[in-house]
Amino acid sequence: MRGKIRNDIILIIIVFLLVLSSFIFWFIKGQNEPNKLYVNIYYDDKLLYSTPLDENNEYKVNGKVGEVHIVIKDGYVWIEDADCPNHICVNEGKKNRNNETITCLPNLIYVIIGGHVDA
């Protein structure tokens, strides 16, 4: 009986050490190779552009009711101006975090920060 409990404890310690070492490896690797964020610009569910968030760019995209001016500068993305009636997208401000979005619903244009997407 004692041998069985001893073996169970050894097994639990080994599993714990494996999980701990995997976590430490994942954490260190993540520190050395940060994931690069991209700005993915869509019109009507079709990818138009996938560009790095850390590269300054400007895009003028024709939407359903007019043009949308998208700016990527200093690690942020925002809609500078839009030909839409309410300008909610312009008032959303600057975004720079993974999975943040900006949507111009009347123009069917949306911007998503995330990984690189192939067209």
CA distances from 47 to 67, 107, 109 (A): 16, 14, 10
Structure tokens at 84: 């839409």
pLDDT for 27: 67
Domain boundaries, the chain: 1-34, 38-114
pTM of the model: 0.70
H or E segment at 4?
Answer: helix 2-32
Convert the pLDDT of each residue in 4-54 to its tens digit: 788 888 888 998 888 888 877 776 665 544 578 999 999 998 999 999 999
Residue 6 has a pLDDT of: 83
Q: Which amino acid is at 35?
A: N
d(CA 64, CA 80) in angstroms, rounded, equals 17
Residue 58: which pLDDT band, with cuts at 50, 70 and 90?
Answer: very high
CATH 1.10.579.10, applies to 38-114 = no
pLDDT value for 32:
44
Confidence of residue 109 (pLDDT cuts 50, 70, 90): very high
Q: What is the pLDDT of residues 95-104, one digit of tens each?
A: 999 999 999 9
pLDDT value of residue 97: 92
Q: Confirm if 51 and 72 have CB atoms less than 8 A apart.
A: yes
The neighbouring-strand residues paired with 62 are 67
Report long-range pairs for 2-10 (Cβ below 8 Å, ≥24 apart).
none
